[in-house]
Amino acid sequence: MGDEFYAIIKLISGEEVLSLVSIDENDGDPLIVMQNPITMKVLHSAHGMHIKVKSWMEMASDDFFIVKPDRLITITETKDQRLIEIYNNYIEDEDSIDTFHNPTETSNHKSSGEVKPSSKMGYITTVEEARKQLEDLYKLKDNKES
């Protein structure tokens, strides 16, 4: 197998795929080997730009896919660190999900595609807990003034 590199691939089907790629020579015929290919779609909303990421083949249990060059329009290496980071984070999240359990139990992703807040995102407490802490703080302050 050849060197691995991150690439954006445009297939003749019109799909654009981001993948870790290597080019393998098979009896003189090159084959494109894609590892964990994903599709990305840019969405614009009132809250800004978002990227929707999903597996290229959602029901497949394999991580590697072979594509013949006649199925490609073009392939280009990407060194865009933001795209590579999104790719790697998605692959890590997918690897951490146990397919025999509810994905919402082992990941921050809900089945609707929403993300549960975590402490990494700045989520510190619930509204109820914050209200209790503030009430206790004001009660303590009122007792000191009396």
Instruction: Spell out the residues 6+ positions from residue 90 whose beta carbon is closer than 8 angstroms to its own.
Output: 38, 53
pTM score of the predicted model: 0.61
Contact 32/68 with Cβ under 8 angstroms?
Answer: yes
Place of tokens 């402490």: 119
93-99 long-range contacts, Cβ below 8 Å, gap at least 24?
Answer: 94/36, 94/55
State whether 54 and 90 are in the same domain: yes
State whether 19 and 37 are in the same domain: yes
Contact 40/21 with Cβ under 8 angstroms?
Answer: no
State whether 15 and 59 are in the same domain: yes
pLDDT the model gives residue 96? 63
State pLDDT tens for residues 62-109.
899 999 999 999 999 999 999 999 999 998 887 765 444 444 444 454
State whether 82 and 137 are in the same domain: no
Kind and range of the H or E run holding 96: helix 81-96
State whether 106 and 129 are in the same domain: no
User: What's the CATH number where 84 sits?
Assistant: 2.30.30.100
Indicate the number of domains in the chain: 2
**Highest-pLDDT range among 1-5, 12-16, 99-103:** 12-16
At 74, phi and psi to the nearest 5? -155, 160
Residue 16 has pLDDT above 70, yes or no: yes
Q: Could you list the residue range(s) of the whole structural domain that residue 75 is in?
A: 5-115
